């Protein structure tokens, strides 16, 4: 097979890039390791910046988002039960939208045939070759049969565990946090009209939503905790305690339809380009989920990368591809900072003493009483400019 851009991975990054390139008439093929069913059933993030909703609108892929997405004009912080509303629309003129990554993935896959976007599912042994030459290629197997794609460019959109990052041979910078999030999905009405980030002496809790009848909740847990030890009742009790009485009053309990623990980490791989290979999304960076940036950061990488590749293929302009890594990394590092800041502010760290705890209280008290502090959180939460 021959194409212009071979895209490794059919997560949000790979699918968004595929649609962006197809819209500009550039040939591309997406090669995905797992099955369509598995990709469509992954439950992940749910809060979209305008960066993401604008991109979906430009691609003409926002029909369902416009109907089912829930616009949020603000977010809510809670400090040991004290509620701190943060107005987003008032200070930025923009809002965020609650719409599940699962739904975005489905929309992008459903629209692929009409866009002429081919996706190879269940590709085994995916390997990248000759990325330093003008003729890179991708090899893999489908049903045991060896396949090769010869291309001009490879886009590594294969997430944290894919092979593309290693092919860059860059340097890594990371931090693992001494806790994870236990997440529950339940078909109950959300407890609050906005996302709630709660700091409590017993640990962090988050209240989010997927629809008016589906809620997503998380509590901070130690890295040694096991999901089997968390009955639904134990989860709801802990969640309500940490959210505090004002927010807990709105909680409707119900059976969990999904329950899992995810570790928290910050990670950046630099640079994001080597020769004809470009990284985007989780392949190059991970943020802890406090701040809801993982999916949105993949979207901004794809805006930069698709602009760069379209400039190159359509006009022979290499400025975009040459500047891609530095341009993307500037926004990535600022977003890493915000995600680390909110994580550090809202969680209990096992090695923190009374001084660190008082600093968290003081900072949250400052935020509660300062329009400037709230504006700073709002402009980061809604998404920094591209």
46 binds, among ligand PHB, ligand APR, none (CB under 5 to 8 A by kind): ligand PHB
Measured distance CA(109)–CA(189) in Å, rounded: 28
Residues in the chain: 386
Give φ, ψ of 124 to 5 degrees.
Answer: -95, 160
Q: Which of 289, 346, 348, 360 binds ligand PHB (CB under 6 A)?
A: 289
161 binds, among ligand PHB, ligand APR, none (CB under 5 to 8 A by kind): ligand APR
Strand partners of residue 261 = 182
Kindly state whether residue 53 participates in binding ligand PHB, applying the rule CB under 6 A.
Answer: no
Q: What residues line the site for ligand APR (CB under 6 A)?
A: 8-14, 31-34, 39, 44-45, 101, 123, 126, 157-159, 161-163, 281-282, 294-295, 298
Kindly state whether residue 292 participates in binding ligand PHB, applying the rule CB under 6 A.
Answer: yes
289 noted as active-site residue: yes
**Nearest CA among 318, 295, 308, 299 for reference residue 21:** 308
Output 186 or 295, the one with its CB closest to ligand APR. 295
Q: In what order do the strands lie in the sheet with 273-274?
A: 118-120, 28-31, 5-8, 153-156, 277-279, 273-274
271 noted as active-site residue: no
Q: How far is CA 30 from the centre of its chain?
A: 20
**Nearest CA among 296, 386, 257 for reference residue 97:** 296
Closest approach of ligand APR to the CB of residue 123, in Å: 6
> What is each CA distance from 223 to 239, 262, 285, 357, in whole angstroms?
18, 9, 21, 20
Closest approach of ligand PHB to the CB of residue 243, in Å: 14
Output 84 or 302, the one with its CB closest to ligand APR. 302
Closest approach of ligand PHB to the CB of residue 175, in Å: 17
Task: Name the catalytic one among 19, 136, 177, 197.
Answer: 197
Residues making contact with ligand PHB (CB under 6 A):
45-47, 195, 206, 208, 216, 289-292
Which amino acids are annotated catalytic? Answer: 72, 197, 289, 293, 381
């Amino acid at each position: 097979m021959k194409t212009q851009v071979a895209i490794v991975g059919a997560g949000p990054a790979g699918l968004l890039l595929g649609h962006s390139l197809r819209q500009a008439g550039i040939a591309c093929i997406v090669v995905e390791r797992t099955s369509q069913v598995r990709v469509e059933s992954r439950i992940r993030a749910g809060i979209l910046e305008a960066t993401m909703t604008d991109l979906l609108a430009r691609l003409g892929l926002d029909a369902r988002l416009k109907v089912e997405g829930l616009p949020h004009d603000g977010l809510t912080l809670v400090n040991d039960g004290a509620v701190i509303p943060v107005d987003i629309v008032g200070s930025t003129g923009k809002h965020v939208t609650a719409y599940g990554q699962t739904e975005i993935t489905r929309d992008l896959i459903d629209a692929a045939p009409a866009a002429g976007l081919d996706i190879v599912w269940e590709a085994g042994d995916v390997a990248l070759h000759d990325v330093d030459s003008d003729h890179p290629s991708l090899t893999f197997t489908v049903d045991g049969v060896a396949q090769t794609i010869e291309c001009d460019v490879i886009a590594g959109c294969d997430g944290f565990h894919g092979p593309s990052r290693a092919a860059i041979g860059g340097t890594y910078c990371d931090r693992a946090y001494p806790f994870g999030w236990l997440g529950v999905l339940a078909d109950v009405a959300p407890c609050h009209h906005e996302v709630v980030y709660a700091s409590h002496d017993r640990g962090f809790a988050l209240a989010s939503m997927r629809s008016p009848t589906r809620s997503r909740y998380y509590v901070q847990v130690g890295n040694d905790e096991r999901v089997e030890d968390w009955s639904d009742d134990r989860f709801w009790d802990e969640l309500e305690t940490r959210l505090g009485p004002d927010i807990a009053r709105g909680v409707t309990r119900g059976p969990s339809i999904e329950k899992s623990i995810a570790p928290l980490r910050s990670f950046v791989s630099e640079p994001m380009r080597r020769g004809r290979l470009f990284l985007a999304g989780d392949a190059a960076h991970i943020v802890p989920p406090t701040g809801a940036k993982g999916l949105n950061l993949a979207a901004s990488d794809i805006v930069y990368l698709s602009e760069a590749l379209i400039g190159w293929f359509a006009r022979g302009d290499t400025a975009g591809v040459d500047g891609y890594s530095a341009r993307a990394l500037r926004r990535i590092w600022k977003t890493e900072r915000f995600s680390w800041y909110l994580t550090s502010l809202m969680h209990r760290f096992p090695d923190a003493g009374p001084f660190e705890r008082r600093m968290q209280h003081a900072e949250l008290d400052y935020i509660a009483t300062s329009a400037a502090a709230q504006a700073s959180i709002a402009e980061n939460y809604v998404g920094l400019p591209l």
